[in-house]
Structures are given as C-alpha cells and as structure tokens.
C-alpha cells in the first residue's frame, strides 16, 4: 500500500480514538462498540493532546493587566512611532490599525514606519522618531540586536520604548522600557503539539519558516523544531526557510520538497502569509489536500475561512491582533504618563482553533475586528475605563 495512504488511514484511526477519549472525559456513558477503533494514543501523543485541549479554550472575561492610569488625557497631542519589522506581513498592519484606534482614545497620534526587514531601514525609522522627539517608540517584532545603536539613542533621549513580539533583551527601567509579546515561540510549540497529537507522534512534517528577522527565526527554531525534537522521537521533520521578499519562489520549493519526500503528512507553516504559496505548491505537486494536513499561525480571516470550509487548512493558532494593539497601547501610555510598564505580562488573547470550532464562528471582517473569536471582547471598554477616558 502507498506510504501516504497508509499514513492517512492511520491518522483517521488516531483521530477517532481521540474523539472517543474526549467523550469519556466529558462523562459520556456510552460503551464502546465493535466498530470503534481500539488503538490508544501513545504517551507522547496523549501529553500533546492534553496541551491542545488546554489551549483551545476562549477567554472568559477581560482582566486589567495593571492598575488604573492617571493623567492619560494630558498626553493628547503626542505622537507615538510604530516601527514594524515589515509591513509586507499583514499582521503588522492589523496591529498598527489597532494601535491607532487605541491611542486615538487618548488623543495620541500614531506614525507608522516600515522597517522592510532591513536593519538599515529599521534604524532610519527609529532615528526619525528620535529626531521628531516622539512621545514613545514601539518596536514591531524588531529585537534590540537588530538595531542596537538606534534603540540606544531612543533610551538616551528619554523616550519610552516598547518592544512587542520579541523576548526581553535584558533588564531596564520599567518606566522607560517595556515588553509585550503573545509568545510566538510558545505558540509555535502549540502547533507542533497539535501535529504530534494528530499523528499519534508519528508525523512526517514539512516545517516552513521565515528568515526575515532574528525573531521569526527563533519562533521556528525554539518553538516548533525544538518541540518536535524533544517530544516526538518518531517524527520526521524537513525544514525549509524563505524570506518574505522571495515568496514567489515558495510554491516551487514546496512542490519540490513534497516530491522529494513523498511520505510527508503534515505541513507546519510559521505564519498565514505562507498558506497561499503552500496551497499552490500542493497543487503543483499533484497532491490532494486530503493527503497532507496544514496548520499555521496568526488567525487571519482568509485562513480561518479556509479552515471552516475544510479547504487545505486543518488547524490554526491565532492571536487577537486587535487586542494586542490595545495591550501595546496600554503599556505605552503607562510609560508616557510616568508609570512603570507591566512586567512579565502574559497576553491572554490567543488560542488554537480546530476545524469544528471554527465552523461555529462568525467569519466576517466585522467579527474579526471585534475580537469575538477569542471569547470576551470587552477589552476596548475595559481599557478606556482603566485609562479614565470613559
């Protein structure tokens, strides 16, 4: 029997077993029938499945990330600079829009600068903020190491600096330097755990990463690849990396990888911007989407719709980017008003979506913008009240 077909059949058996286990855990009194598969999840797959169940729960209610702020209205007229790693990745535009909306509540304007995934362009953006005596600078997935001299000039000028979507670079005065991340490394590990559980810890994975910045490289290396290596001894992983500027080459690279590795059962995509080229690569290789399962990260509307329709996508790890923008605004306004940023803040609005769960969502631009997919979506009202602006 063809190796790919064998693995697909095995995956169906595992999925059925997982459903049976879930029913038992929910208190079902139904007894197993002769038609139900007897295969159980391996210890590695069971551990991964427990993680998947935990991260598939929506947020129950909005909880303020820190104490109420005073004097926010006095910041009106200030300008905050948002330096995105590259605006060619859609999520940075979404975050920028949310930042503009949130800061606008306080009368603070936002200036967006595209780093173009280039250290020199990023440094130029930061220098512009310093020259303009910005009220604050927000880094969008740009780590300190990528523009250290420019970032040092921000702190030397006494301008509050918030790093988003990167790990903390070291100690700093919380009144001047803050960090906020949904922890993309952890979410990449979530994706790997979904693959491990789905395959009963026997997946043949094509992992596709982005080399745009040190941050995106770390997400894949320390999140996904490390998890497969540590938790799935019987998984085979083929790694492929590409720069956003070369995205037109990705379909042929995916096709070649699938032809060279006919046993691939799962594709692990770092971000939603990779999904369409991956689809094209599958089609070019003449492989049915039923034979290869795809999981990605971001939670964009287009990919969530694919998931709900059962077209190419099988699971998605999402971040409420609108909420991330508002939480970033909160951290920024705290420092601008002379208060410390919240340290070690665990961003709550992120989760894993299964195909079944996604079908129950309202998949419209309005619903995406509201943040309702992730549970309680009252963070906007919560923040304006916290800032004394309601």
One domain, residues 20 and 118: no
> DSSP characters for 259-320?
HH-TT--EEEESSGGGHHHHHHHHHHTT--TTTSEEEEEE--HHHHHHHHHTSSEEEEEEE-
> Do 86 and 176 belong to one domain?
yes
- Judge whether 232 lies within some domain: no
The structural domain count of the chain equals: 2
pLDDT more than 70, % of the chain: 90
The answer to whether the CB of 44 falls within 8 A of the CB of 202 is no
- Number of residues in the chain: 390
Per DSSP, the three-state class of 46 is helix
Q: What is the pLDDT of residue 39?
A: 62
Angle between helices 275-284 and 250-260 (to 10 degrees): 50
Share of the chain above pLDDT 90, in %: 82
- Give 3-state DSSP helix, strand, coil % of the chain, rounded to 5: 50, 15, 35
pLDDT of the residue at 244? 86
Domain extent for 36: 1-40
Residue whose entry in the numeric block shows the structure tokens 């911007």: 273
Q: Which two tokens stand for residue 270?
A: 């770092």
Nearest to 160 by CA among 332, 296, 382, 321: 332
Cβ(154)–Cβ(126) below 8 Å: yes
Per-residue model confidence (pLDDT) at position 9: 36
Rounded alpha-carbon distances, angstroms, from residue 126 to 83, 261, 287, 327, 335: 7, 44, 46, 21, 18
In a domain, 327, yes or no: yes
Whether 28 shows a pLDDT value over 70: the answer reads no
How many alpha carbons fall within 13 Å on the CB side of residue 5? 2
Residue 31 has pLDDT above 50, yes or no: no
- Of 364, 272, 381, the closest CA to residue 323 belongs to 381
Is the domain of 83 the same as that of 137?
yes
Q: Give tens-digit pLDDT for 13-26.
A: 333 333 333 333 33
Strand partners, 24: none
Contact present, 41 and 19 (Cβ < 8 Å): no
What's the CATH number where 78 sits?
3.40.50.2300
pLDDT value at position 7? 39
What residues contact 325, with CB distance under 8 A and at least 6 apart? 94, 95, 96, 97, 98, 99, 101, 102
Identify the CA nearest to 250 among candidates 236, 270, 235: 270
Q: Parallel, antiparallel, or unpaired: how do β-strands 161-164 and 79-84 relate? A: unpaired
CA distance 233 to 176: 44
Q: Are residues 81 and 34 in the same domain?
A: no
Do 79 and 175 belong together in one domain? yes
Claim to verify: residue 87 and residue 172 sit in the same structural domain: yes
The answer to whether residues 86 and 160 belong to one domain is yes
**What pTM did the predictor assign?**
0.83
316 located within any domain: no
Pair (28, 77) in one structural domain: no
Mean pLDDT on 60-78: 95
> How do residues 215-274 score in pLDDT, each as one tens digit?
899 999 999 999 999 999 999 999 999 998 899 999 999 999 999 999 999 999 999 999
pLDDT value at 203 more than 80: yes
Instruction: State the pLDDT at residue 90.
Output: 85
Both tokens of residue 291? 């034979």
Task: List, for residues 299-353, the tens digit of each pLDDT value.
Answer: 999 999 999 999 889 999 999 999 999 999 999 999 999 999 999 899 999 999 9
Torsion angle in degrees (nearest 10) through CA of 4, 257, 275, 120: 160
234 part of a folded domain: no
For 103-128, the pLDDT digits (tens) are: 999 999 999 999 998 999 999 999 99
Q: Are residues 169 and 105 in the same domain?
A: yes
- Collect all residues with Cβ–Cβ distance below 8 Å to 61 and sequence separation of at least 6: 376, 378
Residue 111 counted as domain residue = yes
Question: Contact at 8 Å (CB) between 40 and 17?
Answer: yes
The whole-chain average pLDDT of the chain stands at 89
d(CA 46, CA 68): 42
- Rounded to a whole number, what is the distance in angstroms from the first to the last CA of the chain? 66
- pLDDT at residue 162 is higher than 90: yes
What pLDDT does 390 receive? 83
Per-residue confidence (pLDDT) for residue 169, from 0 to 100: 77
Quote the pLDDT of residue 214: 85
pLDDT at position 245 is 86
My answer on whether 80 and 178 are in the same domain is yes
């Amino acid at each position: 029997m063809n190796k790919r077909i064998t693995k697909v059949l095995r995956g169906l058996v595992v999925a059925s077993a997982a459903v049976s286990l879930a029913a038992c855990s929910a208190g079902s009194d139904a007894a197993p029938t002769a038609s139900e598969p007897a295969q159980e999840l391996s210890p590695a797959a069971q551990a991964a499945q427990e993680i998947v169940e935990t991260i598939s729960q929506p947020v129950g209610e909005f909880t303020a990330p820190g104490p109420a702020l005073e004097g926010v209205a006095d910041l009106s007229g200030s300008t905050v600079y948002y330096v995105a790693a590259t605006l060619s990745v859609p999520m940075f535009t979404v975050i920028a829009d949310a930042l503009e909306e949130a800061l606008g509540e306080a009368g603070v304007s936002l200036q967006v600068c595209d780093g173009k995934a280039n250290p020199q362009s990023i440094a130029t953006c930061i220098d512009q903020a310093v020259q303009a005596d910005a009220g604050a600078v927000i880094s969008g997935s740009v780590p300190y190491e990528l523009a250290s001299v420019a970032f040092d000039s921000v702190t030397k000028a006494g301008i509050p600096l918030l790093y988003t979507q990167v790990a903390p670079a070291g100690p700093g005065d919380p009144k001047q330097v803050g960090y906020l991340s949904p922890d993309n490394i952890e979410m990449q590990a979530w994706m790997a755990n979904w693959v491990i559980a789905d395959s009963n810890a026997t997946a043949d994975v094509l992992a596709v990463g982005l080399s745009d910045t040190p941050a995106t490289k770390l997400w894949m290396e320390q999140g996904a690849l490390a998890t497969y290596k540590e938790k799935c001894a019987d998984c085979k992983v083929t790694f492929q990396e590409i720069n956003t500027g070369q995205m037109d080459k990705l379909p042929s690279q995916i096709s070649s990888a699938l032809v060279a590795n006919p046993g691939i059962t799962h594709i692990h995509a770092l971000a939603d911007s990779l999904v369409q080229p991956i689809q094209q690569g599958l089609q070019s290789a003449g492989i049915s989407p039923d034979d290869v399962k795809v999981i990605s990260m971001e939670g964009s509307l287009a990919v969530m719709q694919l998931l709900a329709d059962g077209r190419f996508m099988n699971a998605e790890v999402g971040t409420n980017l609108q909420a991330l923008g508002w939480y970033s605004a909160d951290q920024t306004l705290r420092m601008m008003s002379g208060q410390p940023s919240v340290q070690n803040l665990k961003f709550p609005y992120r989760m894993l979506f299964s195909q079944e769960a996604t079908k129950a969502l309202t998949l419209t631009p309005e619903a995406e913008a509201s943040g309702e997919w992730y549970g309680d979506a009252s963070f906007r009202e919560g923040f304006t009240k916290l800032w004394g602006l309601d």
